[in-house]
Amino acid sequence: MQALKDRILKEGVNLGDGILKVDSFVNHQVDPALMNEAGLEFARLFEDVGATKILTAEISGIAPAVYTGLHMGLPVVYARKRKPITMPDQVLLTLAPSHTKGRTVELIVSPEFLAGGERVLIIDDFLASGATIMGLVRLAESAGAIVVGIGTLIEKSFESGREILEVLGVPILSLAAVKSMEGDEILFV
């Protein structure tokens, strides 16, 4: 998606160690027009997978997932990183390492919002190591749901995430695939 690539080139910052800072339009401050365009593109790309629900991770995946859900007419569930008191005692829970947080995080979903037989489309902000998305896959599978596709705003193709996810046999689509980040230069596939 050219608009996303343009924003990455204009405002993205390579922090080193494989971390791409896109806080000004995705991860801290959100550009609703850009997320709307991304949601439209995901809806177009995944229109034939038969999804019944969208799953993402708190917090940066919420904006692209919500706009995708809006354009696909689907509810969006996000995995929480802390269990609120309003959630039932029995939850779906998995652990995933977070590169940007520098620790393992919990991913928690209430079983009332993710059930067996659901056809789940996973939408997230980044595909890097694949750890968070595999955590979302484990949550869906533990609920008895079927993952039918994975979409990410930005893929760091120089990391191993895609290879890890390809065993699922579902479409994996990214709107901007970064092949390298050297100094101030960000190159796309």
Per-domain boundaries in the chain: 2-188
Task: Measure the CA–CA gap between 178 and 162, rounded to whole angstroms.
Answer: 12
Domain 2-188 fold: Rossmann fold (3.40.50)
Q: To the nearest 10°, the Cα dihedral for 33, 34, 37, 39? A: -100
Q: Residue 20: which H helix or E strand, with range?
A: strand 19-21
Tell me the pLDDT tens digit for each residue of 49-69: 999 999 999 989 999 999 999
CA angle 180, 171, 28 (to 5 degrees): 55
Tell me the pLDDT tens digit for each residue of 83-130: 777 776 888 888 887 766 667 888 999 999 999 999 999 999 999 999
What is the pLDDT at residue 104? 85
* Residues in CB range of 14: below 8 A, 6 or more apart: 20, 21, 181, 182, 183, 184, 186
Tell me the pLDDT tens digit for each residue of 28-48: 999 999 999 999 999 999 999
What is the pLDDT at residue 105? 87
Closest CA to 26 of 178, 152, 177: 152
CA 119 to chain centre: 16
Could you give the 3-state DSSP secondary structure of residue 83?
Answer: coil
Q: Are strands 76-79 and 92-98 parallel, antiparallel or unpaired?
A: unpaired
Tell me the pLDDT tens digit for each residue of 140-178: 999 999 999 999 999 999 999 999 999 999 999 999 999
Task: Measure the CA–CA gap between 156 and 162, rounded to whole angstroms.
Answer: 9
Could you give the 3-state DSSP secondary structure of residue 117?
Answer: coil
Task: Measure the CA–CA gap between 43 and 179, rounded to whole angstroms.
Answer: 25
